Amino acid sequence: MAEKVYLSKPWLKNYDEDVPKTINYPKIPIYETLNASVKKFPDKPALFWGKRTITYEELGEYVDRFANALTGMGVKKGSRVALLMLNVPQYVISIYAILKAGGTVVGINPLLSPREIEFILNDSGAETIISLDLFLSRVNEVKPNTKLKNIIIAGLGDFPQQPGPLAEPKEVEGAKQFLTLIKTHQPQPPKIKIDPEEDEAILQYTGGTTGLPKGVVLTHRNMVCNIYQVYTWFNPSFGTDTFCSAFPIFHVAGLIVCLVAITIGGAQCLVWNPRDTDNIIQLINDYNPKWIVNVPTLYMMLLKNPKFFESKVVNAEQFLSAAAPMPVEIIKELQTKTKGVVVEIWGLTEASPCATIMPYKGKKKIGSVGLPIADTIVKVVDINTREALPAGEKGELAVYGPQVFYKGYWNKPEETAHTLKDGWLFTGDVGYMDEDGYFYIVDRTKDMINVSGYKVFSREVDEVVHQHPAVALAATVGVPDPERPGSERVKVFIVLKEGYQESPELKEDIMNFLRNNLAKYKVPKIIEFRKELPMSLTGKVLKRQLRE
């Protein structure tokens, strides 16, 4: 049987020598990892916010004060508390304070419309929201249609980005001020008994690419297991490593980076605007991070900034890339112009989120997303029958491991039954495993293009388009073929590099390049030049919007 191949875990032979094949996970709530770092590294930096340093001792005290304040406002075990913020110190403080109060963290993407925010608040049943002052108008707009009882406002300037005293918050009618709550409450958090296996820690909403967003229920155990799976993969130096991640913390990838950094006593540079590449480069120069974590499109943006390779980025040891496949050309450029290693990570919200990672020290295969991490099995199955396929054949990837969301989707039993079966998470990602146990992602099932019955993987076309010297960014989608009902045409959207101008001649040159490098049925029928492509706040191209 093909399934035996995956159950035998052929990838283990390619693990780095110091990476454990199985882990004895502590049965603790997430916040105990912070408590441990506060005890071990009280004077070490936990957060860098501009030129301001927040130590572990300070962070621990802020968390305990805020947890006490939340309890006084009625937050208790099982309460869902929404966060509508960018990457600011208050976000990190809020996560741990909510968990210490027994609550569940509900991160909300600030780019969502009021209608979408209202849906998440009502679906989660949140009665408390902590919002950055920039988004207060949206909170006030949706409040009458929700169960919100408590609005807490965090000011962007509460923690000045220079050393010195905290700001004096301006009181807002109908809301409580974050800093006021911290200043007026003692660091005496409630004593809540948490069952790590059963109690929900995170209610993470997916982007709603296939309809309304779904709430992914992640327990304390899910997240703690993934924290340990990730940091043991890289064997970091406790209390010394610095992270620079442009992932928003409301995104599960940004959340796991934050939690790993806190667990190992590392310092995290808070990037509140991921599109501001000058600021990211300044943080790299100021703090010389060992870990840099981005989506591929942000690495592309950084590569276009002439200051990037003049900065201390050349000293970074690891460039972690997640949330989307990184084009081969970008990997080569980073690895030839710096001392760092590009490590691709694959996962999804339902896996807390990491499932596979490229070996840090060992054999790397460009184009692969690496090997299943400790205690994780990944298999390839037929998209329709879900029967295991032999190595080398393309199908849907399914994941089994302690990080998989065994509690399912929030109030969606039918969706849960479709995605989660016998502990296996059916991901919707299409890929394959090679003979060495390395996995490759070729597309999302919803991004596959049907050309007269032939399957075209949009990522494969993207890879080829990016190899043309004029192309800065490209995204391939399927559009209805008016001449063949039920079939699609391949269309590619292209952003040109500086120095290139749109013209029929350039379009034809790109088309000839694609004809020479793709099978005939994969060649795009339509090329559309754009000044920019729609992106999420994480920098991920939104192909759904392009299709629409």
Q: In this structure, what CATH number is given to the domain that contains residue 521?
A: 3.30.300.30
Q: Please give the distance of CA 252 from its chain centroid, rounded to a whole number.
A: 5
Task: Using the structure block, give the residue that is written with the tokens 């084009």.
Answer: 327
**Final residue of a structural domain among 145, 177, 193:** 193
* Rounded distance between C-alpha atoms, residue 161 and residue 52, angstroms: 5
Residue for token pair 């080569």: 332
For the chain, give percent helix, strand, coil, nearest 5.
35, 25, 40
DSSP 8-state symbol, 500? -
| CATH code of residue 144 | 3.40.50.980
What is the 3-state secondary structure of 370-434?
Answer: EEECCCCEEEEECCCCCCECCCCCCEEEEEECCCCCCCCECCCHHHHHHHEECCEEEEEEEEEEC
pLDDT of residue 295: 86
Question: What order of strands is seen across the sheet that includes strand 341-347?
Answer: 52-55, 45-49, 267-270, 242-245, 291-294, 318-321, 341-347, 354-357, 371-372
Q: Could you give the angle at the alpha carbon of 145 between the alpha carbons of 140 and 149, nearest 5°?
A: 65
452: confidence class by pLDDT, cuts 50, 70, 90: low
Q: What is the pLDDT of residue 453?
A: 66
Domain extent, residue 457, equals 448-547
Q: What is the pLDDT of residues 357-407, one digit of tens each?
A: 999 999 999 889 999 999 999 999 998 899 999 999 999 999 999 999 999
**Angstrom distance (rounded) from CA 166 to CA 34:** 22
Percent pLDDT > 70 in the chain is: 98
Residue 319 lies in a domain: no
* Residue 425 banded pLDDT, cuts 50, 70, 90: very high
Contacts for 165 with CB less than 8 Å, ≥ 6 apart:
none
Q: Which of 193, 208, 228 corresponds to the end of one domain?
A: 193
| Structural domain includes residue 245 | no
**What tokens were used for 367?**
């184009």
Whole-number CA gyration radius for the chain: 23
Q: Is 157 left (phi over 0), alpha (psi -120 to 50) or beta?
A: alpha
- Domain assignment present for 454: yes
Note whether residue 87 is domain-resident: yes
The pTM is what?
Answer: 0.86
Q: Is 346 helix (H, G, I), strand (E, B) or coil?
A: strand
Domains identified in the chain, total number: 2
**Is the CB of residue 219 less than 8 Å from the CB of residue 199?**
yes
Q: What is the DSSP string of 349-370?
A: GGGSSEEEE--SSS---TT--B
pLDDT given at position 208: 44
More confident residue, 122 or 298: 122
Tokens of 269: 């540079």
The pLDDT-based confidence of 199 (bands split at 50, 70, 90) is very high
Q: Which of 204-208, 290-294, 399-403, 428-432 has the lowest mean pLDDT?
A: 204-208
* Tokens 């001392």 sit on residue: 339
> Does the residue 295 lie in any domain?
no
Name the CA dihedral angle for 79, 84, 85, 90, rounded to a multiple of 10 degrees.
-30
Residues 275 and 301: beta-carbon distance below 8 Å: yes
For residue 373, tell me if it sits in a domain.
no
In this predicted structure, the answer to whether residue 261 has a pLDDT above a threshold of 90 is yes
Residue range 259-273: mean pLDDT, rounded: 97
Quick check: is 400 in a domain? no
Last residue of a domain, one of 171, 193, 215: 193
Average pLDDT, the chain: 93
Name which of 66-75, 249-258, 475-484 the model is least confident about.
Answer: 475-484
Say if 503 falls within a structural domain. Answer: yes
End-to-end CA distance of the chain: 41
For 171, counting Cβ atoms within 10 Å of its Cβ (0-12 exposed, 13-18 middle, 19+ buried), the class is exposed
Residue with more model confidence, 449 or 445? 449
Q: Of 360, 358, 225, which is closest to residue 290 (Cα–Cα)? A: 360
The pLDDT score that the predictor gives to residue 451 is: 82
